[in-house]
Amino acid sequence: MTWSVLPACVSIARRAGLDEAAEDDDELMAGSGMRALPLADYEVGRAQDVEGARRVLEVNWRKLRVDHATESTWMDFRLHGTRLDRMSFSAMSFGAETIADSGPLGLVVIMLPLSGWCEVWSGDQIATIRQGRAAVLSPMEGVGTRWSADCAQVLVVLESDLVEDVRQREFGVPAGEPLQFDLELDVRTGPGQKLVFGLLYPLVKRLDRHHRMFEGPETVADIENLAASALLNVQRHNYSV
């Protein structure tokens, strides 16, 4: 399936106001020239050293092993984030070249670089992501990352049971092997571009504006199902047709 044959998704997007003209989203949508980390009204923590960054992450996101990639001892770590129901959005930067890794997160995470670069290892897959190239982390794969000093990313997190519910409903295949996505996602053209620039970034922009669309639980559920469906149909995985 492709984005163009998801009429239900298009209908949800229209009802939620996501098909509005995107001219006013240039700063975020272009993925360059950003002057501030997104989701600034949802700041959850910051730190100027590794220990502080670890604490902020463990309390507010996930427990990660974090360390400097160079001899520097200083960083400017910032984490912004907010949650819908079974989906959350975060914006993160370390402000120094940093290594961060973890065992399986039990979540589906879409990593969207806004600046700089990030090397990502997940299972036996490796990718270097930057503007135009994203990464999709599978829930049962350990992950390692190396962030450039100027790297800032939006992290879109989908609970694995949400993605699995949508997968079984749309693909009609009972759960067997753990869901595993291809790691690298090209968002410069085609369906990947439409997923990120037509759905995920507009959602981030509307969260920044405290859009009333997020006040209704039915619309939130529709948005979450839309995101899971779009991801499953755009990014190849071990259940892809």
88-105 residue pLDDT tens? 999 999 999 999 999 999
- Per-residue tokens: 77: 């770590």
Domain residue ranges of the chain, discontinuous segments joined by +: 3-233
**What is the rounded CA–CA span in Å between residue 227 and residue 232?**
9
With 80 as the cut, is the pLDDT of residue 27 above it?
no
* Dihedral angle, C-alpha 62, 63, 69, 70, nearest 10 °: 110
With 60 as the cut, is the pLDDT of residue 9 above it?
no
- Per-residue tokens: 99: 């290594």
Please choose, from the candidates 87, 176, 188, 180, the residue with its C-alpha nearest in 3D space to the C-alpha of residue 137. Answer: 180
Task: Give me the pLDDT at residue 214, please.
Answer: 85
The CATH homologous superfamily to which domain 3-233 belongs is Jelly Rolls (2.60.120.10)
What does the pLDDT look like over 193-234, one tens digit per residue?
A: 999 999 999 999 999 998 888 888 999 999 999 999 999 999
With 50 as the cut, is the pLDDT of residue 36 above it?
yes
What does the pLDDT look like over 49-70, one tens digit per residue?
A: 999 999 999 999 888 999 999 9
Average pLDDT of the segment spanning 124-140: 97
What does the pLDDT look like over 146-169, one tens digit per residue?
A: 999 999 999 999 999 999 999 999
pTM of the shown model: 0.89
Average pLDDT of the segment spanning 171-195: 91
Task: Give me the pLDDT at residue 12, please.
Answer: 58
SS3 labels along the chain? CCHHHCHHHHHHHHHHCCCCCCHHHHHHHCCCCCCCCCCHHHEEEEECCHHHHHHHHHHHCCCCEEEECCCCCCCCEEEEEEECCCEEEEEEECCCCEEEEECCCCEEEEEEEEECCEEEEECCEEEEEECCEEEEECCCCCEEEEECCCCEEEEEEEEHHHHHHHHHHHHCCCCCCCCCECCEEECCCHHHHHHHHHHHHHHHHHHHCCCHHHHCHHHHHHHHHHHHHHHHHHCCECCCC
Task: Give me the pLDDT at residue 21, please.
Answer: 39
Residue with the bigger pLDDT between 186 and 9: it is 186
List the strands of the sheet with 118-122, edge to edge.
Answer: 65-68, 98-102, 143-147, 118-122, 125-129
Please choose, from the candidates 146, 50, 46, 65, the residue with its C-alpha nearest in 3D space to the C-alpha of residue 103. Answer: 65
Give the whole-number percent of the chain exceeding pLDDT 90: 74
User: Residue 202: is it exposed, middle or buried by C-beta count within 10 angstroms (0-12/13-18/19+)?
Assistant: buried
Mean pLDDT of the chain: 88
